[in-house]
A and B are shown apart, each in its own frame.
Chain A
Amino acid sequence: MKASAFSYARASSVANALELLAAYGDRAKVLSGGQSLLPAMNLRLISPELIVDIGELNELRGVVVEGDIIRIGALTRHVDLQRSLQVAAHAPLLAEAIAQVAHPAIRNRGTIGGSLAHADPASELPACMVALNATIIASGPNGERRILGAEFFKGIYETELSPQEILIAVELPVPPKNSVHFFDEFARRQGDYAIAGLAAQAIVEGAMLADLRMAFFALGNRPVLAKAAKSLVGVAITPAVLSEASAALVEELDPQQDQQASASMRRHLAKVLMARGVAALLDRPDLNRGGSA
C-alpha cells in the first residue's frame, strides 16, 4: 500500500523542528531514517498530518568519545555504528547487536535515534541501551532533558518522549576494563525481529560477576532489565544458583503470544538465553549444559 497524503517540512535546525512539533503536536511525526515510520505509514497504521524531516541535521550525526562517555548522535545510522572503531572499542555489545538489526539495505538508512524513539519491544537497540545503562537525551520546548535508558521505554511503541520532543543523542558510560558482554537472540531468519533476545553487560572479578545487567527483549511490552540477575552477582554460580535465577526470571516476564511463539515458549527461550549468557560471560560452558533451545 501507499502512505496517505501528508505535508512535508525539511527541518533546518533542531530549533526549527521543535517549532514545527510545538505547532502540530501529535499530528506531526519526526522522520529520521524512516525504516520503521515509512512502513507504518505505507500500511496506513499511522497517517500523520505533517512529516518533519530531520535527515539533514548533520549536527545530530556521529560518535564521539569524551572521557568515559560515548556520545552517539540520534541520526547515526546502524551501518555507521557497525563500522565505528569507537563503538567496537568501547561498546562491543552494541557492535555485536547491530549485526542482528534488519538487513544491510535497512541498516544503511535506519538510525539509532529512530529505533529508540520507535520503541519496538522486539528490537535490539532499546535492550542494548538498558543493558549499557545509557542516558537518552531529548530536546523539547523547555530545553534538554536526560532520561535513563531503563526509564525511557514505557510500552509497545511508547516512550518517555512527548510529541513536542526530539531524541537528539544517547550517552553510554565507557565500561571498565574487566567488562564482558553477551548478545544473542532467536529469530526465524537473519535480521528478522527477535522471538526472544538478551543483551547483557557484566563486570567479572575473579570467578564471580561483580555486576550484571541483563536486558531481555521481545519478552514483554518493553526491554526488561532482569531483577533476577542480582542473585547471580557476588556469588559462586552453581547450576542450582542459576536454576533458581531462571525460575525467578520467568516470574518477572510477561511475554506476548503471537504467530511466532507462545508465551510459554518465550519464557523457555528466556531461560535458555540466561544460561547461555551466564556461561559465556564467565567462560563456564558447564553452566550451559542442557541449555539447548
Chain B
Amino acid sequence: MTGPVAIALDINGERVDAHVLPRLNLADFLREHLKLTGTHVGCEHGFCGACTVRVNGDIVRSCLILAVQLHGASVQTIEGLSDSGEIADLQAVFRDRNALQCGYCTPGMLMAAQDLLKQQPEPDRERIREHLSGNYCRCTGYQSIIDAVETTARMRAGHRA
C-alpha cells in the first residue's frame, strides 16, 4: 500500500489522471507533477498560507492535504483563477497599490482575499485583516495588501450599483 495510488480529479477545469505516492501532498503534486508553480510552498506545516488553493470551492492549505485524498475532487489554483479572469481586477489593484514586493505570498493572498470578497462583498479593514490572518507576508507589506482588498471590494460594489 506504500506504492502509487491511482487518482482522478479536476484541476482548473481539466480532468487529470495520475498515480501518486500516499506521502505526496497537493502542493508538491501541483508543482512537481503538473508544473503549476504558481502555488508556492513556504513552511509546509500550515502556518504561512503561501500554498493556499481551492478544493471543492473552499480555500485550503495544499501542504496539509494529500493528493490521494483528492480522488474525485475539484481543485482550482492561482493559474485557474488568473486565466479565467475571476480575479483580474484584484490583481490589477494589487499592482496599483504596491501590494506585492517579492511576490512569494501573493498567490496565497489573492486566494484568501478572493475567498473573503465572495463571502462578504464589503468587508471592513478589520474583517479583511482577520480573513488574511493565516497568510504571512515576510516583506511585511500588510497595509498595502489590505488597501488593495478594500479598494477591490469598493470597486466591485460600485460596479454592481
B146 in contact (CB, < 8 A): no
Additional A-B contacts beyond A5-B21, A5-B22, A108-B58 (15; CB < 8 A): A2-B28, A7-B2, A34-B64, A35-B46, A38-B45, A50-B1, A53-B68, A102-B134, A103-B134, A104-B116, A104-B131, A105-B59, A106-B134, A109-B60, A109-B61
Q: Among the interface residues A9, A31, A102, A104, which one has the most CB atoms of the partner chain B within 10 A? A: A104
- Please list 30 pairs of residues, one from A and one from B, whose beta carbons are closer than 8 Å in the complex, sorted by A's number: A1-B44, A2-B23, A2-B25, A4-B23, A6-B22, A8-B66, A35-B46, A35-B61, A38-B46, A38-B64, A39-B46, A39-B64, A42-B25, A42-B64, A43-B45, A51-B66, A79-B58, A103-B49, A103-B133, A103-B134, A103-B135, A104-B115, A104-B116, A105-B59, A105-B60, A108-B59, A109-B58, A190-B129, A190-B130, A190-B133
Interface flags for B34-50 (1: CB within 8 Å of A; 0: not) read: 00000000001110010
A155 in contact (CB, < 8 A): no
Please, how many residues of chain B have a CB less than 8 angstroms from a CB on the other chain? 34
Collect the chain B residues with CB atoms within 8 Å of residue A9's CB. 1
Collect the chain A residues with CB atoms within 8 Å of residue B64's CB. 34-35, 38-39, 42, 106, 109
Which of B108-139 touch A at CB < 8 Å?
112, 115-116, 129-131, 133-135
Give the shortest distance, in Å, between A280 (CB) and chain B (any CB). Answer: 21
Contacts A8-B5, A39-B46, A108-B58: A3 and B65 contacting too (C-beta < 8 A)? no
Interface flags for B1-36 (1: CB within 8 Å of A; 0: not) read: 110010000000000000001110100100000000
- When the two chains form the complex, which single residue of B66, B116, B130 contacts A34, counting CB atoms closer than 8 Å? B66
- Are the CB atoms of B134 and A34 closer together than 8 Å? no
A62 in contact (CB, < 8 A): no
B63 in contact (CB, < 8 A): yes
A189 in contact (CB, < 8 A): yes
Contacts A38-B65, A55-B69: A108 and B60 contacting too (C-beta < 8 A)? yes
A191 in contact (CB, < 8 A): yes
Collect the chain B residues with CB atoms within 8 Å of residue A6's CB. 2, 22-23
**In the docked arrangement, what's the CA distance between A7 and B68, Å?**
11
- Are the CB atoms of A105 and B45 closer together than 8 Å? no
Name the CB-closest residue of A to B53.
A105
- When the two chains form the complex, which single residue of B22, B63, B115, B134 contacts A8, counting CB atoms closer than 8 Å? B22
Which of A158-197 touch B at CB < 8 Å?
189-191
Give the shortest distance, in Å, between A83 (CB) and chain B (any CB). Answer: 10
Collect the chain A residues with CB atoms within 8 Å of residue B115's CB. 104
- Are the CB atoms of B28 and A106 closer together than 8 Å? no
Name the CB-closest residue of B to A77.
B58
**In the docked arrangement, what's the CA distance between A145 and B22, Å?**
32
Collect the chain A residues with CB atoms within 8 Å of residue B45's CB. 38-39, 42-43
- Are the CB atoms of A7 and B60 closer together than 8 Å? no
Collect the chain B residues with CB atoms within 8 Å of residue A51's CB. 22, 66
Interface flags for A190-223 (1: CB within 8 Å of B; 0: not) read: 1100000000000000000000000000000000
**In the docked arrangement, what's the CA distance between A187 and B61, Å?**
21
- Are the CB atoms of A7 and B22 closer together than 8 Å? yes
**In the docked arrangement, what's the CA distance between A108 and B129, Å?**
18
**In the docked arrangement, what's the CA distance between A8 and B112, Å?**
30
**In the docked arrangement, what's the CA distance between A31 and B44, Å?**
17
- Are the CB atoms of B60 and A8 closer together than 8 Å? no
B52 in contact (CB, < 8 A): yes
Collect the chain B residues with CB atoms within 8 Å of residue A105's CB. 49, 52, 59-61, 112, 134
Collect the chain A residues with CB atoms within 8 Å of residue B28's CB. 2
Give the shortest distance, in Å, between A19 (CB) and chain B (any CB). Answer: 14
Name the CB-closest residue of A to B45.
A39
**In the docked arrangement, what's the CA distance between A239 and B71, Å?**
59
- When the two chains form the complex, which single residue of A7, A38, A39 contacts B66, counting CB atoms closer than 8 Å? A38
**In the docked arrangement, what's the CA distance between A7 and B131, Å?**
35
